[in-house]
Structures are given as C-alpha cells and as structure tokens.
Amino acid sequence: MRVGIIGCGLIGGKRAESLGGGHDRIVATFDIVPERSRALAAKHNAEACATPEGLLEKVDAVVVATTHDELVPMASLAVRGGKHVLLEKPAARTHVELEPLVELARKHRVLVKVGYNHRFHPAPQKARAILDAGGCGDVMFVRARYGHGGRVGYDKEWRADRDKAGGGELLDQGVHLIDLARWFVGADFTDVFGRVETYFWKMAVEDNAFLTLATAARQVAHLHVSWTEWKNVFSFEIYARFAKLQLEGLGGSYGVERLHHYQMRPEMGPPETIVYEYPGADLSWRLEWADFVNAVVQGTRACGDLEDALATLRIVDRIYAGAGRF
C-alpha cells in the first residue's frame, strides 16, 4: 500500500518506521508544523504535503497520529476519501466523539484499526496464547500498574491541555491497561469505579488514575496509572483459576520484558514456574502494522479496532463523569 502519515511527531515517526521496508511504503506526510512533515518525508523519500486533502490524493492508507483533538477529524477525512486508517489511541477524546466515525467507516466500507500496540508486545502475545491453550482455566481477575514520571515542562505540553488532550494520564497510559484488561478477561466491564487525581504536576488534567472494573461474571480489573512514577514501571498480572501470568517491563526504561508463568500443581503448593524473557528490540509497532495489513487484505477484524476503542472510552468517560467514585 501507498501510505500517508498525518501527524509527524514521535508516534508518527514510530509508525513510519514500523512499515519495515516491505511492500508498503510511505509516500506522503502532513503535519501542522511543516518542518516536521518535511523532516519525516525526507527520511522516507516521500512528499511533504501542504494539506491533508493533498495527502489523500496520493495514498491507499493513512496513519493518523495527531493530538487527540484532531484524531477523529483527520480519520473522518480519510474515511470519506475511501482510505483505510490506522488511528492512534485513544482514537478520540470521548466515546461520543468517536461514535460517528464507527458509523462512517461502516458506510464507506473501510477498515479503521486503533493503535493499541501493547497487545503486540511479546509477553502479552505469549500470555494470550497460553490462556487460549486452555490449561489456565478462566481468568478471575487482573491487577496492573503502568507509569512514568514525565519530564521538565511536562505541564506545558499538549497532553496537559484539556481541550487538546481531553484528559490526562487516564487517556494516555490508562487506555492501554483498560484495553489489555478487556482483551485478557474476554468480556466488557459493566461496573466501573474509579478516581482521578492531580498530585504533582500543575495542570488541568490528572496525573494519576485509580480504577476498579468488574464484568457481569464478577471478573475484576484493578488498575493504577501514574505520571508520578519516578521509576518507569509496567506490571500486569493475570490471575486464572489454575495459573498466574505476570508480565513485567516493556523494554527500554521500563526494563527487560518478561513473562512469568506460574502453573498450579495438582497437589498445589509451590507452582511450576516458567520465565520467558524478551530482551530484543520492540517489534510491537511492526507486528501491529502487519495485523492492520492482514485485516485489510483478508477483510477480517483487526486486533484492536474501533469497537474496542469505543468500549474503552465508555469506561474512561464514566470515570471522568464521577460514576461510582470511591
């Protein structure tokens, strides 16, 4: 496919690299800061376009990696042009904002996949395969923490602007944990309890969020995300009837990615333990792109689509609205 990148910042650059030099190639870029567009275009021998409409004339598919306020407008423009879209998470600022895009994609019969690349990290992929093999039994509950400490001036960046971002840490790293919890539990959360707080950063959005979610079958997800995590952390624990799967690290500053598989023995006591370690480069972006292309070619559902994003944003909106606060 001929691919265009709308939004040429850090994530847009990662998405461009994720094509991996295969049959798909970047042919056009657009950013509201022309210098960013030109820099990314030069790196990939592409054309920097003056408008998103001009970009759409040259491509088959679009990656939208803008600030949150522009995600739906840019994706909608691409969908109306008949282009398939990889839309960066959280896909919108609210579920109400996202709903029209779901209908628009159906009307124009194009695929819109949402960029939840954490599903494609090796430890979550292996955990999903272990659960699907059936030896763990049903998932009872999950417990997860995810956070970083920001950087100097973080409170002046666009993520601290409620109009642009829609919210703070809950819409940043929180949506990843909610999405993974839904994916591993295999059901929607019907009961939503939570609290958002701003402890450290002087900003209009939250720097911490605490969630307890439950399905109709009483499966619980207890989640905490933080911009005051002075040592970056990613920890996701899955408690099934006969096993525990513990995911730690994402590589880089989050530490080596590992999966601990603790399998209950018939006599119980200390479990059988297998540790999988993934010290290599982060290939999640490339694997997610491959899933997107496969879904386009095969006409199948992508792993992490608009319906998944919509379900996640409904939970976020309930937290922000104060439903079920502690």
In a domain, 150, yes or no: yes
Domain co-membership, 239 together with 106: no
Q: Which long-range contacts (CB under 8 A, 24 or more apart) does 253-260 make?
A: 253/148, 257/121, 257/122, 257/123, 258/123, 259/122, 259/123, 259/126, 259/127
- Out of 113, 144, 174, a domain closes at 113
Among 72, 97, 113, the domain-final residue is 113
- Are residues 67 and 136 part of one domain? no
- Do residues 204 and 137 both lie within one domain? yes
Whether 37 maps to a domain, the answer reads yes
Asked whether residue 255 falls in the same domain as residue 148, the answer is yes
Within this chain, do residues 164 and 253 fall inside the same structural domain, yes or no? yes
CB-based contact 210:222 (threshold 8 Å): no
Beta strands per DSSP E along the chain: 2-6, 25-30, 47-48, 61-64, 84-88, 112-115, 139-147, 189-197, 208-215, 220-226, 233-240, 243-248, 257-263, 272-278
Burial 236-264 (b: 16+ CB within 10 A, else e): bbbbbeebbbbbbbbbeebeebbbbbbbb
Q: Considering all CA atoms of the chain, what is the largest pairwise distance in Å, rounded to the nearest integer?
A: 67
Could you tell me the two tokens for 158? 């666009």
User: Do 155 and 246 reside in the same domain of the chain?
Assistant: yes
Q: Give the length of the chain.
A: 326
State the pLDDT at residue 21.
Answer: 65
23 CB-side CA count, 13 A: 5
Judge if 100 and 226 occupy the same domain: no
Closest to 180 (Cα-Cα) out of 41, 31, 284: 284
107 and 129 co-located in one domain: no
| Residue burial 209-219, b: 16+ Cβ < 10 Å; e: rest | bbbbbbbeeeb
Model pTM score: 0.95
In a shared domain, residues 189 and 106: no
Cα(46)–Cα(21) distance, integer angstroms: 13
Q: Could you give the CA distance from residue 87 to residue 143 in angstroms, rounded to a whole number? A: 27
What is the domain-level CATH number for residue 100? 3.40.50.720
Beta-strand runs (E) in 16-102: 25-30, 47-48, 61-64, 84-88
Split into its structural domains, the chain has a count of 2
Do 144 and 280 belong together in one domain? yes
Would you write out the chain's pLDDT as a tens digit for each of its 326 residues?
999 999 999 999 999 999 866 789 999 999 999 999 999 999 999 999 999 999 999 999 999 999 999 999 999 999 999 999 999 999 999 999 999 999 999 999 999 999 999 999 999 999 999 999 999 999 999 999 999 999 999 999 999 999 999 999 999 999 999 999 999 999 999 999 999 999 999 999 999 999 999 999 999 999 999 999 999 999 999 999 999 999 999 999 999 999 999 999 999 999 999 999 999 899 999 999 999 999 999 999 999 999 999 999 999 999 999 854 43
Q: Quote the strand ranges of 49-175, DSSP E.
A: 61-64, 84-88, 112-115, 139-147
In a domain, 222, yes or no: yes
Domain that holds residue 311: 118-289+295-320
Q: Is residue 325 part of a domain?
A: no
CATH classification at residue 237:
3.30.360.10
The answer to whether 46 and 26 are in contact (CB under 8 A) is: yes
Question: Is the residue at 164 inside a domain?
Answer: yes
> Are 43 and 166 contained in the same domain?
no
Residue 326 lies in a domain: no
Q: Is residue 123 part of a domain?
A: yes
Task: Specify whether 270 is located in the same domain as 165.
Answer: yes
> Which of 113, 137, 159 lies at the terminal end of a domain, its last residue?
113
What is the structure's pLDDT at 322?
86
Q: Is the residue at 69 inside a domain?
A: yes
